[in-house]
Amino acid sequence: MRMYSAACAGIALLTLSACGGGGDPLETDDDDAATDGDSAELVVGSQQYYSNTIIAEIYAQVLEHEGHEVQREFEIGQREVYIPELESGAIDVFPEYTGNLAAYIDPDTDSGDPDSVHAALVDVLPEGLEALDYAAATDQDSYVVTAEFAEENNLTTVADLDDVDEDLSIAANSEFETRPYGIGGLADTYGVELTLVPVEDSGGPLTLRALLDGDVEVANIYSADPAIEDNDLVILEDTESLVLPQNVVPVVSENVDDQARDAINEVQSVLDQQALLDINAYSQSTQDSPADVAQWWLDDQGMLD
Amino acid sequence: MNHLVEAFDLLLDAESWSGPGGFGARMLEHLWYTALALIISSAIALPVGLAVGHTGRGRALAVISSGLVRALPTLGLITLAALFVGIGLTAPMIAFVVLAVPSILAGAYAGVESVSPATTDAAKAQGMSGWQVLIKVEIPLGLPLIIGGLRNATLQVVATATLAAYVGAGGLGRQLFLGLRTQDYPLMLAASLAVILLAIILDACFEFSQRLLRRLLGLV
């Protein structure tokens, strides 16, 4: 589903940029005149992940609303590719996730609450790059069970799994075997012994299917996946912060002035978990372009008035 | 190059071969998946292929349909099948059978067709029934090509059986995916080498049996 949405988003983007998204040179003259001479163009990038692209599009539209000229460089792919672009100043705004980015720059990043991980990220970011406020919304690995299973066994936190009197297995990507939040981490931190059933679609439809079929009792699904709500799944609370928090955080370059930063931070302040789930669910159900989804959400929030 | 050296070190280390998740167990699983896929697809494709070759009917259909099936991307098929039947071995097995059937089918009908009409006519003139012609003349004479089809299918399945691990089954794909996901490239390379080794061994077995057959049948 995620791949499919990403592909759709990509096609939509291509069409969008093909029909005038690149901007009409004759028209921009008027806009420039209106924005007190601030003509520096800001480049907004995004990962090759539909949800990330929508967030990038939200930033872009808010910046445009503030009178900035914005160029979109979306669907860039992996960090190996776009981090150097950010460092060189070729990209100015990029929606990121606190934990993964911090761990990418410094593999020894310790997990903790969202505040401490954000602080760690601010510390390790290379010179010239800055992380703005983090949003309440996260898109992170989470331990998910069905509502019935949670009810039967009285589960609310990950630690509660220890009290279940049966052999439990978890569907996740194979890296779950070795990751700190994986099999070993669960045993060390919570005393929970799980057997890994590797399903390699990163919490996608096959993982979901395994959970709903009862092939596994627990599944590793991303916390911003609309499938969690759609299928009445329960996210077990990770009280010990075993999973590195992945709050949405914009990384910006020095080209982004205070006014623009304030505008983005305003988005951050309203982007809570429910908002991100709504955005992803809307995108998956309508298959609209990221631009349309972003506009729908911003209109809904009254942020483009 | 370093990765390659590390991969060989890993393969030469006895410890990485032992245990339920070691290379030894995974390789046996991999072999078993391959064998199972071949047994199922032979049961489907051999009778059909022999019938097509013997009667000459449905040849166009067999050629076109096996050509179409060959164009199916295996990973896509596994994902699709797994969405219907759930995770485990069933979905990949369906995909492996689909992968193996065209080669076996083509080998079977080509084998039977390769027998010279003069030979089959002579057999019929001796008073052999259709079944006797098939079993006593066409199959033995077409055997090298029939086995060739099995050989192709085996090679394709043994190389593709790594995908079983995509949906929760075992095999050498487990190490391959683990290496891929955790950027443990020596592990990934070692798993690939193990698959290659398996493929070479199986292919050598077929080569040997084909030679033996030719000698026994006096076709050399």
Q: What pLDDT does residue A33 have? A: 38
| pLDDT category of residue A25 using cuts at 50, 70 and 90 | very low
Which range, of B77-86, B158-167, B207-216, averages the lowest pLDDT? Answer: B207-216
Sign of CA dihedral A174, A175, A176, A178: positive
Average pLDDT, chain A: 86
Q: What dihedral do alpha carbons A285, A290, A292, A297 form, nearest 10°? A: 80
Determine, for residues B167 and A215 on separate chains, whether the beta-carbon distance falls below 8 Å.
no
Residue A161 has pLDDT above 90, yes or no: yes
Summarize pLDDT for A104-137 with one digit per residue, the tens: 899 888 888 999 999 999 999 998 899 999 999 9
Determine, for residues B177 and A174 on separate chains, whether the beta-carbon distance falls below 8 Å.
yes
Percent of chain B with pLDDT over 70: 98
Interface residue of A3, A79, A141, A175 to substitute, partner B, most B CBs within 10 Å: A175
Determine, for residues A200 and B174 on separate chains, whether the beta-carbon distance falls below 8 Å.
no
Determine, for residues B181 and A205 on separate chains, whether the beta-carbon distance falls below 8 Å.
no
Residue A39 has pLDDT above 70, yes or no: no
Mark which residues 191-230 of A lie under 8 Å from B by CB. 197-201, 205-206, 209-210, 213, 215
Tokens 């199986």 locate to B202
In angstroms, how far apart are the furthest CA atoms of chain A?
Answer: 70
Residues B171 and B33 sit within 8 Å (Cβ to Cβ): yes
Q: What pLDDT does residue B1 have? A: 66
Mean pLDDT of A35-56: 81
Amino acid identity for residue A68 in this structure: H
**What ipTM, to 2 d.p.?**
0.78
Mean pLDDT of B145-165: 95
Q: B167 contacts in A (CB within 8 Å)?
A: 199-200, 206
- Whether A12 has its CB under 8 Å from any CB of chain B: the answer is no
Summarize pLDDT for B47-56 with one digit per residue, the tens: 999 999 999 8
- The CATH fold of domain B25-169: MetI-like fold (1.10.3720)
CA distance A206 to chain B (A): 6
Determine, for residues B86 and A209 on separate chains, whether the beta-carbon distance falls below 8 Å.
yes
CATH for A141-235, options being 3.20.20.70, 3.65.10.10, 3.40.190.120, 3.20.20.80 = 3.40.190.120
Determine, for residues B168 and A213 on separate chains, whether the beta-carbon distance falls below 8 Å.
no
Q: What pLDDT does residue B138 have? A: 93
Summarize pLDDT for A165-188 with one digit per residue, the tens: 899 999 999 889 888 889 999 999
Summarize pLDDT for A189-206 with one digit per residue, the tens: 999 999 999 999 889 999
Other CB atoms within a 10 A radius of the CB of residue A134 amount to 25
Q: What pLDDT does residue A109 have? A: 87
Residues 6+ apart with CB under 8 A from A60: A44, A70, A72, A93, A294
What's the pTM value of the predicted model, to 2 decimals? 0.78
Mean pLDDT of B135-152: 93
Q: What pLDDT does residue A31 have? A: 41
Residue A29 has pLDDT above 60, yes or no: no
Determine, for residues B168 and A171 on separate chains, whether the beta-carbon distance falls below 8 Å.
yes
Q: What pLDDT does residue B219 have? A: 58
Determine, for residues B165 and A178 on separate chains, whether the beta-carbon distance falls below 8 Å.
no
Most confident of A15-19, A110-114, B111-115, B212-216: B111-115
How far is residue B56's CA from residue A260's CA, in Å, rounded to a whole number?
75
Most confident of A37-46, A70-79, B192-201: B192-201
Mean pLDDT of A154-161: 94
Where along chain B do its domains lie? 25-169
* Nearest CB to A177 within list B88, B167, B178: B178
* Nearest CB to A200 within list B83, B166, B182: B166
CA distance B162 to chain A (A): 12
Residues 6+ apart with CB under 8 A from A77: A47, A48
Where b means 16+ CB within 10 Å and e means fewer, B147-162 reads: bbbbbbbbbbbbbbbb
Sign of CA dihedral A252, A255, A259, A263: negative
Mean pLDDT of A15-31: 41
Other CB atoms within a 10 A radius of the CB of residue A172 amount to 29
Residue A18 has pLDDT above 80, yes or no: no
CA distance B77 to chain A (A): 13
Summarize pLDDT for B25-58 with one digit per residue, the tens: 999 999 999 999 999 999 999 999 999 999 989 8
Where along chain A do its domains lie? 2-138+247-301, 141-235
Determine, for residues A209 and B82 on separate chains, whether the beta-carbon distance falls below 8 Å.
yes
How far is residue A35's CA from residue B117's CA, in Å, rounded to a whole number?
87
Task: Report chain B's terminal Cα–Cα distance, integer Å.
Answer: 43
Summarize pLDDT for B66-111 with one digit per residue, the tens: 888 888 899 999 999 999 998 999 999 999 999 999 999 999 999 9
Which chain B residue is nearest to residue A177, measuring alpha carbons? B178
Summarize pLDDT for A272-282 with one digit per residue, the tens: 999 999 999 99
- Whether A8 has its CB under 8 Å from any CB of chain B: the answer is no
B202 three-class SS: helix
Conformation bin of residue A225: beta by default, left when phi > 0, alpha when psi is -120 to 50: beta
| pLDDT category of residue A20 using cuts at 50, 70 and 90 | very low
Which range, of A35-49, A54-68, A135-149, B161-175, averages the lowest pLDDT? Answer: A35-49
Q: What pLDDT does residue A121 have? A: 95
Q: A210 contacts in B (CB within 8 Å)?
A: 86-87, 168
How many pairs of residues across A and B have Cβ atoms under 8 Å apart? 55
Percent of chain A with pLDDT over 90: 71
- Whether A178 has its CB under 8 Å from any CB of chain B: the answer is yes
Which chain A residue is nearest to residue B91, measuring alpha carbons? A206
B interface residues, A as partner, C-beta within 8 Å: 79, 82-83, 86-88, 165-168, 174, 177-178, 181-182
Residue A52 has pLDDT above 70, yes or no: yes
Backbone angles phi, psi at B66, to 5 degrees: -70, -30
Which chain B residue is nearest to residue A203, measuring alpha carbons? B167
Where b means 16+ CB within 10 Å and e means fewer, A206-244 reads: bbbbbbeeebbbbbbbbbbbbbbeeeebbbbebeebbbb
Which CATH superfamily does the domain covering A2-138+247-301 fall into? Periplasmic binding protein-like II (3.40.190.10)
